[in-house]
Copies of this chain bind each other. A is one copy, B any other.
Amino acid sequence: MLGAPEIGVGMLGYAFMGKAHSNAFKKIAYMTWPPPLEPRLVGIAGRNAEAVREAAERYGYEYATGDWHELIADDRIGLFDNGGPNSLHAEPTIAAAEAGKHVICEKPLGRDADESYEIWRQVAATGVKHLCGFNYRFVPAARLAREMIESGELGEIRHFRGRYLQDWGDDPTLDTWRFHPDEAGSGALGDLGTHVVDLARFLAGEIDAVSGFAKTFLPGRSVDDAIEAAVQFAGGAVGTIEATRLALGRRNAFQWEINGTKASLAFDMERLNELQVFRADGDRARGFKTVLVSETDHPFMSHWWPPGHIIGWGDTFVHELNHVLQAIVDDGDVAPFGATFEDGYRAAEVCDAIVRSGQSGQREQIRYRTIGV
């Protein structure tokens, strides 16, 4: 034990999310000092034997395995982190929870609302902590936004408009599990659209109805390239939700804006250290502030660098995983600042409704299932 008791981590996935999460586990140990728990990187699983072996060496996992069941069976592992393809979310995550391990699962939780619901229902029944990897809640600007909204600084919310724009999808030769419906479930919708839906819910509240559609542009592509929707929130706000992999020039532009009766907020993930804030405070000098969200009174920034010394995209995972560890050690709630599997399920309901709306040509009211405790 260094700064805190250890918790053994088992990681499924060694690629993009495996790297992002492993980096975060390693940084938690010294960046959020003292850490709630000291992550011990026990095992990492993946399909490609050589790649997973290299990942284990690179990130310092004690062993690599081609079979995720090995992680489930390993008693030293107290936290199972699922960063595999979407088709591998349900079974290993549920199995880990049933083995008594706390679980993290990347978004989208399942490939559709039904699968997501099952994951949530079965995991919740075990009593372990569960977090769905909507890491953008852990951007300092998003947390500040949430705190401002909760404290009433925005007043009543009238509008949320969110769009997640990337441009890597315009290559017909590209192949990845993200283009295979059986592995991914959907395209831009599950990959990017879920992030927009989750942030919308995190900041503006529950979504009641959507009118929109999914669209595939590239010939031969089996998943959607883009989604477009007009949305209505339970609290009365209205707005739009978009996601696309074909917005040329936009690399990671998850942009959202919220207009309230007292203040407005705007954000762009390509400038993730900044929050645009407008307050109707009567100042003659009236305008949106460009807030560099790196002040040391911010809960995420207190352990980083002096104000103005910005953090990176990868650091959002440090905040996210640290949040899980804190919930574990406190036996506290992952919600509301972290997304639970219920949040993962609810986002899936909204995404499914967008697809249904496109097929039916109708506005789709959303009904959220419960797990009746």
Alpha-carbon separation in the docked complex, A261 to B170 (Å): 8
Residues of B within 8 A of A177 (CB): none
What are the 5 A-B residue pairs with the smallest beta carbon separation, nearest first?
Answer: A251-B308, A249-B278, A252-B308, A312-B312, A211-B211
Instruction: List residues of A (225-271) whose CB comes within 8 Å of B's CBs.
Output: 226, 228-232, 236, 238-240, 242, 244, 246-253, 257, 259-264, 269-271
Q: Known contacts being A158-B217, A261-B170, is A311 close to B312, with CB within 8 Å? A: yes
Alpha-carbon separation in the docked complex, A289 to B238 (Å): 27
Alpha-carbon separation in the docked complex, A57 to B4 (Å): 11
B16 near A22 (CB under 8 angstroms)? no
Stretch at the interface among A5-13, A79-87, A107-115, A291-299: A291-299
Copies of this protein in the assembly total 4
Q: Least Cβ distance of A361 to chain B in Å?
A: 4
Binary B-proximity of A152-170 (CB < 8 A = 1, otherwise 0): 0000001101010111101
Alpha-carbon separation in the docked complex, A250 to B30 (Å): 28
Verify if A184 is at the interface (C-beta below 8 Å from B): no
Verify if A33 is at the interface (C-beta below 8 Å from B): yes
12 contacts between A and B (CB under 8 A): A30-B59, A159-B244, A228-B238, A244-B259, A247-B259, A249-B280, A250-B259, A270-B273, A286-B295, A288-B289, A309-B314, A312-B312
Name the CB-closest residue of B to A226.
Answer: B238
Verify if A373 is at the interface (C-beta below 8 Å from B): no
Alpha-carbon separation in the docked complex, A220 to B367 (Å): 30
Q: Which of B3, B57, B240, B313 contacts A57 (CB 8 A)?
A: B3
Alpha-carbon separation in the docked complex, A3 to B60 (Å): 10
A212 near B215 (CB under 8 angstroms)? no
Q: Which of B22, B33, B252, B309 contacts A313 (CB 8 A)?
A: B309
Number of interface residues of A (CB under 8 A): 100
A272 near B310 (CB under 8 angstroms)? yes
Instruction: List residues of A (287-331) whose CB comes within 8 Å of B's CBs.
Output: 287-292, 294-295, 297, 304-315
A285 near B291 (CB under 8 angstroms)? yes
Verify if A363 is at the interface (C-beta below 8 Å from B): yes
Binary B-proximity of A25-54 (CB < 8 A = 1, otherwise 0): 011011101100000000000000000000
Verify if A174 is at the interface (C-beta below 8 Å from B): no
Q: Known contacts being A229-B230, A230-B211, A310-B270, is A148 close to B285, with CB within 8 Å? A: yes
Name the CB-closest residue of B to A244.
Answer: B159
Verify if A345 is at the interface (C-beta below 8 Å from B): no
Residues of B within 8 A of A269 (CB): 308
Q: Least Cβ distance of A83 to chain B in Å?
A: 14
A264 near B286 (CB under 8 angstroms)? no
> Known contacts A3-B58, A252-B307, A310-B313; can you find 9 more A-B pairs with CB under 8 A?
A29-B60, A211-B361, A212-B230, A239-B242, A251-B309, A286-B295, A287-B290, A289-B289, A312-B314
